[in-house]
Amino acid sequence: MIYPLIGMPQGAEWLVLLFIVVLIFGAKKLPELARGSGRALRIFKTETKGLIDDDDDDMKTPEQREIESRQSRTEAEADPITREHRDGTTS
């Protein structure tokens, strides 16, 4: 059997990787990082489910409603410049 040079970490490699992560981020930041990634995964999952159930507004989760309200607020505030309306006539 051919063993690849680069493979999945096993045993002691996982401990070394965990030690490096703790050194980089610190022990106090790890729970916050895990919580944030969990929220991101949950929102991603609800958004991908929302693509399938696009017409079902009553099935939206609180995370989806919050994202939509944030998007509508930022779109309204983002472009204060009024765009010129062109009616197709030449001048």
Structural domains counted in the chain:
1
Could you tell me if residue 57 is inside a domain? yes
> Is 41 part of a structural domain of the chain?
yes
Range(s) of the domain holding residue 61: 31-77
For residue 17, tell me if it sits in a domain: no
- pLDDT of 42 reads 92
Q: Does residue 20 lie in a domain region? A: no
Answer yes or no: is 84 within a domain.
no
* pLDDT tens digits, 1-25: 566 666 777 888 889 998 898 898 8
Torsion of the alpha carbons at 56, 50, 62 and 70, rounded to the nearest 10: -110
pTM across the whole model: 0.39
